[in-house]
Structure 1
Amino acid sequence: MLITDYFKKFLHSSQSSGIILILCVAISLLIANSSLGASFQNLLDTKIGTEIFHLNYPLSIWINDGLMAIFFLLVGLEIKREIVEGELSSFKSASLPIIAAVGGMAVPAGIFYLFNQGTDYVKGWAIPMATDIAFSLAIISMLGKRVPLSLKIFLAALAIVDDLGAIVVIAIFYTEQLHWDYLGLSALMVVILIALNFFKFTKHIFYIIPGIFLWYFMHHSGIHATIAGVLLAFTIPTNVSTTEISPLEKLEQKLHLPVNFLIMPVFALANTNITFKDGMVDGLFTNFGYGIILGLFWGKVLGITTFSWLFIKLKISSLPDRSSWTQMIGAGLLAGIGFTMSIFIALLSFKGHPEIQDEAKFAVLVASVISGFAGYSLLKFVGKKKAGNLEM
């Protein structure tokens, strides 16, 4: 099995930053539920930028739409490299995370709908669809060698497809208005980036500048701007040479440290500031709470493993190298960490209803914690068992 050195470095740095990420979650929750909570929220709501180019946004928007676009750029680079020369280079292996992501979106949405059909809550059907790529990758990376690299690549690819699916759902069902002029300009930027690749431009600056414009136009189009990072990543030139370092590989090296030790911790601090209120726990034991929690915790793993099993049995796809079905279940559980994108969809679904938004955010947090703990524990147990068998 061919796993690139760059992906190994990415996972190694993700493993190191995973502990920092979890600490930032704890710190953010503590701040949100202390006397500093209001001040911290005011900081996140502080507008930064200029009105001249319509770029005067709260700090939280700059973090979630701006900094996270850089995170998606790095993950997109890693996925492209594996498609070109690594674990995802064959159709059987590359097709699995795509079909698994489809199952991981359809089944949770169906579970939520069954619990909430005929009520006003049904418009939140997309809340349990999304996988939080930052947290899921951080947790699986913390397992180190207990988990095969191919499974980590599978989860990364699945989460990318999953988040892209969530962005499409937001654009179609939750965006009040799409601005087609900005979408057209975004498409133009993509064409320019593809042309630069075709004519073999290698300096990063030729891609970064159109990439910034792509982000700007995508953000103003009404579609979540983080997709710009993925689109940019897939236009950066690479090669299959083991001696010549490609522009893609050079950019990966530059992004590893700032992404894993600055962007992800800041992201965690900004998005975990959930203030606990009276009645939140009771909200978990309603059809609304059941739809979110069971959708993320049970629906994700059920959809991912069922769709994967079906396509593997049909010999369309194949299991990640050296992985077992138990480990696939563990990866499916980690995909139940919905968090940021799920919370984002909840905010869009129930605009003007802060009490419902708070219930949804708390249910997403609970489901994500349960899914993360269950997935980590299962993968750790299987990893220890396999190590024990090898020693025997």
Structure 2
Amino acid sequence: MPAPIPPAAPDDRDVTAASAQRAHRTRRVRLTEMLPGILLIAATAVALVLANSAASGAWHDVIEARLGPLTVHEWVAEWLLTAFFFVTGVELRDEFSRGSLSTPRRALTPIAAALGGMIVPALIFVAFTAGGPAAHGWAIPTATDIAFAVSLLALVAPGVPAPARAFLLALAVADDLFAMIVLAVFYTPGLHPTIVAVALGLLVGPWVRPRLRRMLERLAMWVVVPAFALVSAGVPLQGGRAGVGGALSPGADPVFCGVLLGLVVGKPVGIILATWLVQRTGRAWGLARARRAGTVAVQRTPASVSWPDLWVVALLAGVGFTMSLLVAQLAFSGGDADARLHTEHATLGVLAASFVAPALAATVYRLLRRTDVA
């Protein structure tokens, strides 16, 4: 019998070319994820520069100019932003039908983490504003901006494994769902356009063609959200337009402190604490079942994500931005000097957290990578 012919060894050049192609695709995916976040940062920077320059008066006149029944700012914040929330509704439907929230077992950890990441920031905000009318803004630091957070994850922690990214997506989607409920119950009497858009996304999600969905996602990420940042993030860094009260510095306003610490501290603490409680409960349940069955329980971290990676994700969840800015405008919509001042300081708190949280996540990520290498 002739000896079997051994399989041909792969050409080193073919292996190298395949590896290069995979690396190229990975870089393209990361760049695609990063670009919306970079554009959003640029739009925010432009808005801040315009609001704190000699052109601030002219810029304010532009965004407050009336186009029919609404101002430019109102058209963007109440109607153009509906495209973003429609896409959010479609994503929610996908996650509940066949994604990370499709079964109770898969949904338990991200839903618990999202709730923990809302409750602790709300408590921190109320601790700063208790007894005053500003406490009505308790929901401002409870939301995570899903698109911005994912973009920044690719930017500040490119080596985080896929399960950590998936956990951030599931967490942010669950967070969006609860944020919509809070918005509808506490801040929008009647049917706000954003609530209607989410409801439509949930209803028609399965019938949205992939090509149309991609077009709407690009419209939301590349046009709508940057436009919202342009008209909403332009607040004075010192003083304000709120009249006599505008001389109050942001640091002296409990609204600013409550929003900043709620997002930067409350979000990660709430997420990690809730995740730990789920793991501890699940471990106790698994040990009890294993003891009854006479087997050994396998202990894993929730969502197969390491605790160091969970800390990176939890810190990055402190990026509130779109939803937090919208809640701030709805919470302090009285129109008087104090309401305008609180809106400005809440906006500054959201913007500050949107830079501090990624910086902390990047620092933790690099420290962990350095430890792994050592």
Assess same fold via TM > 0.5. yes
Answer whether contact 1:151 1:320 (CA < 8 A) is retained.
no
Report how many aligned residue pairs link the two structures. Answer: 323
Alpha-carbon separation, structure 2, partners of 1:237 and 1:359: 37
Alpha-carbon separation, structure 2, partners of 1:168 and 1:78: 16
Hey, what does 1:370 align to over in structure 2? 356
- TM-score, structure 1 normalization: 0.70
Do structure 1's residue 149 and structure 2's residue 162 form an aligned pair? yes
Do structure 1's residue 227 and structure 2's residue 209 form an aligned pair? no
- Cα deviations across residues 44-63 of structure 1 (Å, max 9, x unaligned)? 223335xxxxxx32222332
> Which letter maps to 2:317?
A
Q: SS in structure 2 opposite 1:235?
A: helix
Structure with bigger gyration radius:
2
> Which letter maps to 2:117?
G
Do structure 1's residue 99 and structure 2's residue 112 form an aligned pair? yes
Hey, what does 1:209 align to over in structure 2? none
Answer whether contact 2:275 2:302 (CA < 8 A) is retained.
no
Answer whether contact 1:115 1:291 (CA < 8 A) is retained.
yes
Hey, what does 2:215 align to over in structure 1? 254
With over 3 angstroms needed to count, the CA separation of the structure-2 counterparts of 1:160 and 1:68, relative to structure 1, is farther
Q: SS in structure 2 opposite 1:261?
A: helix
Residue of structure 1 aligned with 2:176, choices 163, 166, 172: 163
RMSD: 3.3
Answer whether contact 1:20 1:265 (CA < 8 A) is retained.
yes
Alpha-carbon separation, structure 2, partners of 1:280 and 1:335: 32
> Which letter maps to 1:258?
L
- Cα deviations across residues 122-158 of structure 1 (Å, max 9, x unaligned)? 3332232222334223212335751233333333333
Hey, what does 2:125 align to over in structure 1? 112
Answer whether contact 1:15 1:143 (CA < 8 A) is retained.
no
Alpha-carbon separation, structure 1, partners of 2:172 and 2:85: 11
Identical-residue share of aligned pairs (%): 32
With over 3 angstroms needed to count, the CA separation of the structure-2 counterparts of 1:30 and 1:150, relative to structure 1, is same
Do structure 1's residue 329 and structure 2's residue 311 form an aligned pair? yes
In the TM superposition, residue 110 of structure 1 has moved relative to its aligned partner by 1.1
Alpha-carbon separation, structure 2, partners of 1:14 and 1:100: 23
Alpha-carbon separation, structure 1, partners of 2:71 and 2:30: 31
In the TM superposition, residue 80 of structure 1 has moved relative to its aligned partner by 3.7
Answer whether contact 1:271 1:340 (CA < 8 A) is retained.
no
Residue of structure 2 aligned with 1:265, choices 222, 226, 229: 226
With over 3 angstroms needed to count, the CA separation of the structure-2 counterparts of 1:273 and 1:367, relative to structure 1, is same
Alpha-carbon separation, structure 2, partners of 1:367 and 1:314: 32
In the TM superposition, residue 109 of structure 1 has moved relative to its aligned partner by 1.1
In the TM superposition, residue 33 of structure 1 has moved relative to its aligned partner by 1.1
With over 3 angstroms needed to count, the CA separation of the structure-2 counterparts of 1:9 and 1:266, relative to structure 1, is farther
Q: SS in structure 1 opposite 2:70?
A: strand
Q: SS in structure 1 opposite 2:81?
A: helix
Hey, what does 1:291 align to over in structure 2? 258
Alpha-carbon separation, structure 1, partners of 2:181 and 2:147: 19
Task: Could you tell me which runs of 5 or more consecutive residues in structure 2 were left unpaired when the two chains were aligned.
Answer: 1-26, 240-245, 287-299
Do structure 1's residue 22 and structure 2's residue 41 form an aligned pair? yes
In the TM superposition, residue 43 of structure 1 has moved relative to its aligned partner by 2.1
Residue of structure 1 aligned with 2:279, choices 302, 312, 318: 312
Answer whether contact 1:123 1:349 (CA < 8 A) is retained.
yes
In the TM superposition, residue 303 of structure 1 has moved relative to its aligned partner by 0.9
Greater mean alpha carbon deviation, residues 303-312 or residues 153-162: 153-162
- TM-score, structure 2 normalization: 0.73
